[in-house]
Amino acid sequence: MAEYKRLAPEILDEDSDTRKKIGEEYRDLVDAGMPNNLATERAAIRAVLGPLEKLKVAKSARRDDEHHEETGGRSSGNRAPKNKVEGLSVRQKEFYDSKIKLGVYKDWKEVEAELAYSR
């Protein structure tokens, strides 16, 4: 329950559409013979929001979208990047930086050498 509340805080808001759907689902489950308890409430939440793992993935994907950074323009005019590393997006630079820290690549020169083979 705590994970659902953390990932979908709107379930605590009495006025939210999600909370209303959960309430309807809960009443349907109780009317169908399930006990009036927390397990049934969790089942109603799961029925409306889906399995916890799928909700985690969906929320993670949304966070990635929210942090999207456009890199199409260059503030230094229309000059071309000096090398392939300089032309990488912020996300690509973060990726290769993490691989350097993990020891997959020795340094940025090694990354540049690998990128030279790419299209």
Question: What residues does each domain of the chain span?
Answer: 2-66, 82-119
**pTM assigned to the model:** 0.49
Distance CA(119)–CA(111), nearest Å, equals 14
Distance CA(85)–CA(105), nearest Å, equals 13
> For residue 118, is it left (φ>0), alpha (ψ between -120 and 50) or beta?
beta
pLDDT at 118: 64
Whats the size of the chain, residue-wise?
119
CA distance between the termini of the chain = 48
- Positions in the chain whose pLDDT score sits under 70: 61-82, 118-119
Distance CA(86)–CA(103), nearest Å, equals 21
φ and ψ at 103, to 5 degrees? 90, 10
